Amino acid sequence: MLQQVNEYFEQHKMVASVLFGIFFGVTARFMLLRSDYRQYPAYPHGQIIHISLGVIASALGAVAVPALYQKNLTALTFLTVAAQQFRDVRNMERESLTKMDSMELVSRGTSYIEGIAMVFEGRNYLVIMAALAASLFTVAFNVWIGLVGGLLSLVAVWKLRSGKSLNHIANIHAANVRVDGPDLYVDDIYIMNVGLESDQQYIRERGLGLVLEPKNANGRVTLSNLGQRQAILYDLSTILGVLRDTGEPALLPMAKLHLDSGRLGVFILPHDKDMSKALEIASRVPLLESAVRMPSKAGVNQEAKDNG
């Protein structure tokens, strides 16, 4: 039986490569399809759209290798068309999330939205890579090597499915929320002015504070980015809940810097006042690519380090 299977695939190697490529590409897309606290794509039609695009992407990656082997270079131009389509997907995600963001009590912010849209585009390219690898190994060697190549591509996709989180650049610890007259502090970091006594009492009872201490100069600049700060507030407020309504600026979650040390003070009013959860959530906040800054890599800083 095994011998017959080998003979069949050897005789129809191109067909086998396409089938293997599509299979591993679609599998990779299912691995990357997640519905989590960001609530997108949590509804059925959103998932159908992304699965359908994954099937298209895997088919394009799978047929590219047989087309190249048969010197059909015209077929490869479909990859450029696919790239344009996936850029349109990124624009679609950006527009949808921006419209949804206006209805949130605590918004994601433009940097977070751009990061999510970029991820959706990049996942389609990972699907093409998985399909391409499985198809290439099948055509170049045999179906068993193609199977190994497809499995290795899935491992690579799993490794690349997510980037770094906030605990890579900062140490996070619990902080004391205190109201000194009308001034609100998280430890020694000034947050804002709270005028109403009722709001001050509410903050004393329900307020929760965190302090993020950057590990180096790069982390300090990244934490100062407004988009990264908004991502922290959004994740905390979405998972723990937020005790506020529209038109109540005194109850708005905020994150402010201690200008001398670069530490970031975070204040929220959660439904679930659980400090251990808050610390875990903050540590897992994604590090936004648009917010990452590396001043230590600048030429002037490298020269100063070498001279020192």
If you average pLDDT over each of 39-53, 152-166, 244-258, 272-286, which comes out highest?
272-286
- Residues 222, 208: Cα–Cα separation, whole Å: 23
- What is the reported pLDDT for 307? 55
| Per-residue model confidence as pLDDT tens digits over 43-60 | 556 677 778 888 888 888
Residues 25 and 49 in one domain: yes
| Per-residue model confidence as pLDDT tens digits over 105-164 | 888 888 888 888 888 888 888 898 999 899 988 888 888 888 898 999 999 988 887 778
Q: What is the overall mean pLDDT for the chain? A: 82
Residues 95 and 179 in one domain: no
Amino acid (1-letter code) at residue 275: M
Residues 123 and 185 in one domain: no
Residues 48 and 144 in one domain: yes
Residues 35 and 121 in one domain: yes
Q: Tokens for 216?
A: 């180096």
Q: In the block, which residue shows the tokens 């030429």?
A: 299
Amino acid (1-letter code) at residue 103: M
Tell me the CA distances in angstroms from 294 to 37, 55, 115, 222, 301, one per residue in order. Answer: 29, 37, 18, 8, 10
**How many distinct structural domains can be found in the chain?**
2
Q: Is residue 252 part of a domain?
A: yes
Domain boundary residue among 125, 159, 193?
A: 159
Residues 194 and 263 in one domain: yes
Residue whose C-alpha is closest to residue 58's, from 94, 24, 97, 92 = 24
Length of the chain: 308
Domain boundary residue among 124, 159, 194?
A: 159
- What is the reported pLDDT for 161? 78
Q: Is residue 31 part of a domain?
A: yes
Q: For residue 237, report the phi and psi dihedrals to the nearest 5 degrees.
A: -70, -35
Residues 93 and 22 in one domain: yes
Q: Is residue 302 part of a domain?
A: no
- Check whether 24 has a pLDDT greater than 60: yes
Q: Is residue 306 part of a domain?
A: no
Q: Is residue 307 part of a domain?
A: no
Domain boundary residue among 121, 138, 159?
A: 159
Residues 29 and 121 in one domain: yes
If you average pLDDT over each of 6-10, 68-72, 162-166, which comes out highest?
162-166
- Check whether 187 has a pLDDT greater than 70: yes
Per-state percent for the chain, helix, strand, coil, to nearest 5: 60, 10, 25
Residues ≥6 apart with Cβ < 8 Å to 288: 111, 112, 115, 225, 227, 228, 231
Residues 80 and 204 in one domain: no
9-13, 42-46, 250-254: least confidently modelled range: 42-46
- Contact yes or no for 208/274 (Cβ under 8 A): no
- Residues 187, 191: Cα–Cα separation, whole Å: 10
Q: Is residue 305 part of a domain?
A: no
The conformation of residue 138, written as its DSSP 8-state character, comes to H
Exposure of 234 in the CB half-sphere (CA atoms within 13 A): 22
| Per-residue model confidence as pLDDT tens digits over 195-214 | 788 888 888 888 899 999 99
Using DSSP bridges, classify how beta strands 170-175 and 177-180 pair: parallel, antiparallel or unpaired.
Answer: unpaired
Range of the domain at 273: 166-297
Cis peptide before 182 (omega within 30 of 0): no
Residues 128 and 265 in one domain: no
Q: Tokens for 116?
A: 């999510």
Indicate the SS3 state at residue 244. Answer: coil
Residues 19 and 77 in one domain: yes
- Contact yes or no for 161/129 (Cβ under 8 A): no
Q: Is residue 64 part of a domain?
A: yes
User: pTM of this prediction?
Assistant: 0.80
Residue whose C-alpha is closest to residue 40's, from 238, 288, 246, 282 = 238
Residues 275 and 185 in one domain: yes
Q: Is residue 223 part of a domain?
A: yes
